Chains A and B, each alone.
Chain A
Amino acid sequence: EAGVAQSPRYKIIEKRQSVAFWCNPISGHATLYWYQQILGQGPKLLIQFQNNGVVDDSQLPKDRFSAERLKGVDSTLKIQPAKLEDSAVYLCASSLQGGSPLHFGNGTRLTVT
């Protein structure tokens, strides 16, 4: 089966600019997650979707980060405006449902200068 697809692979922007990341989960996977992985740290959950509804966004900095999963398939994560501390790898993962194994994409590496 095709894995979780993410794009772009790399992105460099200046602070205060905006950026968007895209994720296409494995076909049929109802649950989708966005994680942030800062260099030298483990991934941290930003938001979890079940179909097109948000299950958990308690760690999403809502003043600058937003995410949507229209139609319950693809998802986009946006940062506006970006800060230097947003430099990280943004990982998307999906699972059949909330209790199933997670499948991770290769991530988008964001550098904010």
Chain B
Amino acid sequence: GDSVTQMEGPVTLSEEAFLTINCTYTATGYPSLFWYVQYPGEGLQLLLKATKADDKGSNKGFEATYRKETTSFHLEKGSVQVSDSAVYFCALSEDYGGSQGNLIFGKGTKLSVKP
């Protein structure tokens, strides 16, 4: 079945460091891909998404490119801030047209940014 694998954490970085969180997926069809973020004490929030190959999702300085050839959707940010400390989840949905029902999540990667 479909699955998502993301790098295990925790990841600890200094402020202004470059961030990469790896995510790869297995899917039978053509899924939409997502990154969700969960800040301490808050619910899951959609960070960015991409619905087809070579699409780049971006938000709040974060970017991820849908790479079909490597079945990857790595999350990157050029300069992290303390406020980016959170748990990041990669997810896919086999529904079409960017539908976000039936999300399949990775295990999450905890990011801690130190001042």
Contact = CB atoms under 8 A, between A and B. Distances in A.
Nearest to B97: A99
A64 interface: no
A102 B43 contact: no
Interface residues of A, number: 26
Interface residues of B, number: 22
Contacts of A16: none
Interface of B: 4, 41-46, 89, 91, 95, 97-108
B14 to A, nearest CB: 26
A42 interface: yes
The 5 tightest CB contacts between A and B, nearest first, are A42-B105, A104-B43, A99-B99, A104-B44, A106-B43
Contacts, number: 58
A3 B45 CA distance: 11
A20 B43 CA distance: 20
Nearest to A56: B102
Contact of B102 (A48, A101, A104): A48
Contacts of B98: 99
Nearest to B46: A101
14 contacts: A31-B101, A40-B107, A43-B103, A45-B102, A45-B103, A56-B102, A91-B44, A95-B100, A95-B101, A99-B98, A99-B101, A101-B46, A102-B100, A103-B43
